[in-house]
């Protein structure tokens, strides 16, 4: 493990290679789960505020589910998460013309309708962060649905931490990332 500031980072975050391959996984991370994506109260507020900016991308079924459940829910673990529809799919998703499940919030961001991209937990996936009183545990969650991303990362030689540079900076800041990158690049090889 590696400690940078108040974060304890698993060596898997440094040593594993990863690069999303949406053509192969079809956005499975937005579909495959027993709970929605974790989010902060601030993110839940932003999603509710900007709903008119991304609702145009949603199916009628998803809109009805949002009307029924709201913009956030508390899951079985007591965490604030995005609602799900059909027992596993994030309610804020849509399927594009290539059959890939994508985030309507992020689509609105890329279409320049909003400055908020999506919950940081989604942006960081497959890195998962568990916040404790004294530190954050930063771990790689290796799931079968992300096998195409592991294959793509290995082919490209892309370390997970470099692939997720933008969301790591979003979460912890530029200075943290610079310190982390220096430590990752200078970590003794096994």
State pLDDT tens for residues 53-73: 999 999 999 999 999 999 999
Q: What is the pLDDT of residues 133-181, one digit of tens each?
A: 999 999 998 888 889 888 888 999 999 999 999 999 999 999 999 999 9
> In sequence order, what are the beta bridge partners of 101?
95
* Mean predicted confidence (pLDDT) in 81-108: 91
pTM of the full structure: 0.87
Residue in the block written with tokens 């309708």: 113
The first and second tokens of residue 178, run together, are 């610079």
Q: What's the domain range around 79?
A: 26-123
Cα separation, 142 vs 159, whole angstroms: 14
| Boundary-marking domain end, from 123, 144, 160 | 123
32 and 119 share one domain: yes
Domain count, the chain: 2
110 and 151 share one domain: no
115 and 134 share one domain: no
114 and 45 share one domain: yes
118 and 166 share one domain: no
136 and 52 share one domain: no
50 and 107 share one domain: yes
| 124 sits in which H/E element | helix 120-124
| Boundary-marking domain end, from 101, 123, 145 | 123
| Boundary-marking domain end, from 83, 103, 123 | 123
Let me know: does 54 contact 114? Beta carbons within 8 Å.
yes
Q: What is the pLDDT of residues 16-54, one digit of tens each?
A: 999 999 899 888 888 887 788 999 999 999 999 999 999
10 and 41 share one domain: no
116 and 133 share one domain: no
41 and 111 share one domain: yes
113 and 145 share one domain: no
> In sequence order, what are the beta bridge partners of 3?
8
φ/ψ bin of 27: left (φ > 0), alpha (ψ from -120 to 50), beta (otherwise)? left
């Amino acid at each position: 493990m590696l400690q940078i500031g108040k974060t304890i980072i698993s060596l898997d975050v440094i040593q594993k290679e990863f690069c999303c391959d949406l053509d192969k996984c079809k956005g499975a991370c937005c579909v495959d789960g027993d709970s929605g994506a974790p989010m902060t109260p601030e993110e839940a507020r932003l999603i509710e505020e900007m709903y008119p900016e991304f609702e145009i991308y949603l199916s009628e079924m998803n809109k009805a589910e949002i009307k029924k459940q709201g913009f956030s829910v508390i899951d079985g673990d007591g965490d604030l998460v995005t609602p799900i529809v059909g027992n596993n799919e994030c309610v804020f998703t849509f399927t594009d013309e290539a059959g890939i499940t994508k985030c309507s919030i992020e689509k609105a961001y890329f279409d320049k309708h909003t400055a908020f991209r999506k919950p940081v937990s989604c942006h960081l996936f497959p890195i998962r962060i568990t916040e404790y009183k004294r530190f954050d545990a930063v771990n790689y969650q290796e799931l079968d649905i992300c096998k195409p991303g592991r294959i793509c990362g290995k082919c490209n030689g892309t370390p997970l931490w470099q692939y997720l540079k933008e969301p790591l900076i979003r979460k912890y800041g530029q200075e943290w990332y610079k310190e982390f990158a220096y430590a990752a690049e200078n970590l003794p090889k096994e």
